Amino acid sequence: MASVLLIEDDAMLRRGMQLALSRHGHDVRVAGTGEEGLAAIETSRPEIVVLDLMLPGIDGVEVCRRIRRVDDLPVVMVTARGDDFDVVGGLEAGADDYVVKPVQPTVLDARIRAVLRRSVSSGEGVRAHGELRIDTTSLTVTLQGHVVPMTPIELRLLLTLSAAPGRVFTRQQLLEEVWDHDYLGDSRLVDNSVRRLRTKVEPDPASPVFVQTVRGFGYRFGPV
């Protein structure tokens, strides 16, 4: 069971999604505006936010940006349509995954669980790559001795890549292993998460040492 904050302005849809997620075992709190949602994050400290992008006042993209400035709280965004503008805007703001309305409760539940799943520890101990250290038991990452805060998706992505240095992962393979998407998913999830991960672990994100692009194929964890 996860503690979920649902930010949705449509009262009927909000109630329906709350009931559906509750039936899947989640503890769901709700907010009707971006302002209410940001306040609820401060007071209730949910484990994950389900965020509608089309909100009155502060829209979902801005809500996501404000969350990302101060917190690594996971965010699953909800778009009214499969519009590239909505999806790209939400992903670039820092969302970890997205679903398109009409939302299927089983799909949303699966996305929430995939984003939150932390059972990725291999029990190997610490992977040391230069000044980057990845503890696969405590699931902590340090760079130059400082703890690097990460969302669950960023952590799973780093653990997956670093488990096989030099191996090239296609975007689809990463979708399946990191997001648990067993269908032809949206590669923008991967690209945007890689971009955010690089800002946290690379000495120079513009010239990545650890998370390297293999053009035409995907990504690999580079040898150091």
pLDDT in tens, 126-180: 898 888 999 988 889 999 889 999 998 999 999 999 999 999 999 999 998 888 7
Q: 29 falls in which pLDDT band (50, 70, 90)?
A: very high
In this prediction the pTM is: 0.80
User: Are 134 and 100 in a shared domain?
Assistant: no
Strand partners, 75: 49
Mean pLDDT of 9-15: 95
CA-based torsion, 197, 70, 146, 48: positive or negative: negative
In a domain, 121, yes or no: no
Average pLDDT, the chain: 89
* Residue 161 falls inside a structural domain: yes
Query: Is the same domain home to 101 and 137?
Result: no
Rounded-to-integer distance, Cα 24 and Cα 136, Å: 29
The domain boundary residue, chosen from 53, 86, 116: 116
- The answer to whether residues 96 and 146 belong to one domain is no
Confidence band for 87, pLDDT divided at 50, 70 and 90? confident
Q: Please give the tally of structural domains in the chain.
A: 2
Q: Domain residues for 185? A: 126-221
What pLDDT was estimated at residue 123? 56
85 band by pLDDT with thresholds 50, 70 and 90: confident
On whether residue 106 sits in a domain, the answer given is yes
CATH of the domain at 130: 1.10.10.10
98 and 131 housed in the same domain: no
Domain stops at, among 116, 134, 163: 116
